[in-house]
Structure 1
Amino acid sequence: MINKNALHILLSAALLITLSATICHAATGKKKLLLFAKNPATWAIVKNGASGKLVYNEASGAFTLQASGLPPRSTYALVRYTDTPPRGDILARGTSDARGKLELNGVWHSWIKKFWLVAGDDVAGNVGESATLRAWRPERYLFEEKPLGIPCNCPEPEEP
């Protein structure tokens, strides 16, 4: 039989760990959104496919996207898709390195809807401006795990 004091200590420790993790997350204000290559026929995540992690601060708007598994030396644009085809907003542009890795940084303040990493040639517009898709090649894109700011009863995917 467990001693009541030992049980009290264990429960208190578990509560403190939970609270400190919550406070730490709230103090930094950082959130993350995972991006994945998806099968365009089923929209299922492609196992061992290209992926990325978008870390952002809602208050300051600062963000960093790190992606890997992309075609080397290819241009990309981080786009917020607004469900009004074929329009969106361009948050950042860049080129993957020789190993297929990409890092984009910037500031954005509207953290709702869908966020995609699309081939740079497939979208017209400059950073901070409206985006217009000129081609649709979803097999080359990374898509959000779930839309932001929209209630979703979605299972959390594993981080790449």
Structure 2
Amino acid sequence: MTSTDNGFSATRRLILKGTATVALIGLGNLPFGLMPAHAAANDKWPEDAFKQKSEADAIKALYGKTAEPSDKVKLDAPEIAENGAVVPISVTTTLDGVTSISFLVADNPNALAASYNIPPGTMPSVANRLKMAKTSNVTAIVEAGGKLYSATKEVKVTVGGCGG
């Protein structure tokens, strides 16, 4: 049988066309026009902070102040990462007024691994997969109410991810 003889193939094509049409119509309802305005509202890219070699220098370049450890910042990271190229990490917090969350890896060539601006009304929770050169402390920095809070955990890396 050819595909023109089979009613199933014609039905399948019709369903696929309908699904694609619905998906494209749905894209028209997304607020794409808001993205440039939102991006412009954020501070400029913290290029200097991402170039820093030490955690302290990266925190100073990014925030201009130091962080205090807090049990209200929950850092979830593995104790042992078998592959340093993809180390899953997440942070959540119960602090109010969170404006940013950043991840730092002390012994990486550049300490600041990721930094996120948290829009008002957003749940302060971020997850990522970091690249780690070797066993190191991972620190999550949460900016809330104009202050910095942190949580730190050592992650043992068995195979390095930064060329190791």
**Which TM-score band applies after superposition, normalised by the shorter structure?**
0.3 to 0.5
TM-score by length of 2: 0.38
The higher radius of gyration belongs to: 2
TM-score by length of 1: 0.38
User: Which structure's residues are more often helix, by fraction?
Assistant: 2
